[in-house]
Each structure stands twice: as structure tokens, then as C-alpha cells.
Chain A
Amino acid sequence: AQSVTQPDARVTVSEGASLQLRCKYSYSGTPYLFWYVQYPRQGLQLLLKYYSGDPVVQGVNGFEAEFSKSNSSFHLRKASVHWSDSAVYFCVLSAKGTNKVVFGTGTRLQVLP
């Protein structure tokens, strides 16, 4: 069975600080992994995606994520956050040819000015 765990429901950081949002997945096959962001009263926007290859993937707005097969993780990072990064972040798992998409429960990020 596939599953995604985002262990931190809420994260608060100060503007300019570095950020890591954690994501652990469970899947026996080859995963496709994504991070999405949802700003207040908006739909979800794709931040970055991982299918294969270089385990560090770059996304929009300075975000990056690192895939670790050994740790079954896909943590999201940003070197210096801005107040506008305040949003809910979802880690998502799928696989090639499957309609099964599993969303994590989301991490609400608050950036203090």
C-alpha cells in the first residue's frame, strides 16, 4: 500500500531563516514524488516534481527537494524563506501508469516577519 506522512502539521520560522519540510513515503515500487503549495483561498500549485535521475530537484521560488530511496523521504528545503511563502505544503506520491495518487495531510507554514 502507498502512503505519505508529513509529520509536522505546522511549522513556524522567521523570515530569512532556512526551511525544511519533511515528507516520508511508503511504496514498494518506483515512486513519483511531488510537492504542491496552496495559498489561502486558492487551488494547489505544483512546486516541483521527481521522476528519476538527480535526487535533488529544483522547483519554483527557490525551493528544492531531495529524494532519498534509502530513507524513503522527499524533504522540501529553502535556503531563505519570505513571508509570502506562508501557505500549506503537500507532499504527493504516485507512480507511472497508476491512477492512485496519495496526498500527505499537509504542513502549514507560517513565516514571521
Chain B
Amino acid sequence: DPKIIQKPKYLVAVTGSEKILICEQYLGHNAMYWYRQSAKKPLEFMFSYSYQKLMDNQTASSRFQPQSSKKNHLDLQITALKPDDSATYFCASSQDAGWEQYFGPGTRLTVL
């Protein structure tokens, strides 16, 4: 059974629209993360959460907003989508901050 679920697996959006990427982990971890990977940039850290609190934000744009409704959920809302947002977005979790992370399968977002 997958321990970190990301939904959807593929997502196509039009420029200017808004989408939410879902991440749920069933590992009992306390820390969760979002990363982005595209052809133009290697793996890029976006956010980290610990006990549902934002710990680090390396995303310059406020169009990216993480949302943690439950301890094992960390969704990513992206507004006013741009073609440059096209990438694969990975969610990860770790037992606590600093420990090894486990990654989800990713959501591949294409913005037209």
C-alpha cells in the first residue's frame, strides 16, 4: 500500500486558473514538505511543515499556498497559474525535522 498519496497523478490547467494538489501520508510522520522539479531547474525545495506549522518557505511567490487541514495532510494551492509553473510537484514527509524523508510519486502539472 502506498504510504504517501499524491492526487492527481497528472493535471492539466489553463493559464490563470487555480488548482489544488493533494498530499496525504500514512507513515505517522510529523513533518511534511513540498518540492518542485522541472526541466529548467533541478529539485527545488518549496515548503516545510512540522506539526502542521509552517517552518520554512523558499517559494518567492504568494501564488503558492500550502494548506494543512490534518496532521497527515499537506495540500498545495496554486493560484493564477502560469506556463512556467509546469513541473512535477513532490510531497515528502519525515518522522521529525532533519530525519530522512520519504517521497510521494509526484503530481505532474502542465499549464497551457
A residues whose Cβ falls under 8 Å from a Cβ of B? 32, 34, 36, 42-46, 49, 90, 94-101, 103, 105-106
B residues whose Cβ falls under 8 Å from a Cβ of A? 31, 33, 42-43, 45, 48, 50, 55-56, 90, 92, 96-106
Contact status B100-A103, CB under 8 Å: no
17 new A-B contacts, CB < 8 A, other than A99-B98, A103-B43, are: A32-B99, A34-B100, A44-B90, A44-B92, A45-B103, A90-B43, A94-B97, A94-B98, A95-B98, A97-B97, A98-B97, A99-B31, A101-B48, A101-B98, A103-B45, A105-B42, A106-B43
Contact status A101-B103, CB under 8 Å: no
A32 to B97, CA, bound (A): 11
A58 to B42, CA, bound (A): 26
Contact status A46-B90, CB under 8 Å: no
Contact status A98-B104, CB under 8 Å: no
Contact status A103-B42, CB under 8 Å: yes
A49 to B102, CA, bound (A): 12
Contact status A43-B106, CB under 8 Å: yes
Contact status A43-B56, CB under 8 Å: no
Asked, given contacts A42-B105, A45-B103, whether A98 binds B98 with beta carbons under 8 Å apart, the answer is: yes
A53 to B104, CA, bound (A): 29
Residue in A43, A90, A106 whose Cβ sees the most chain B Cβ within 10 Å? A43
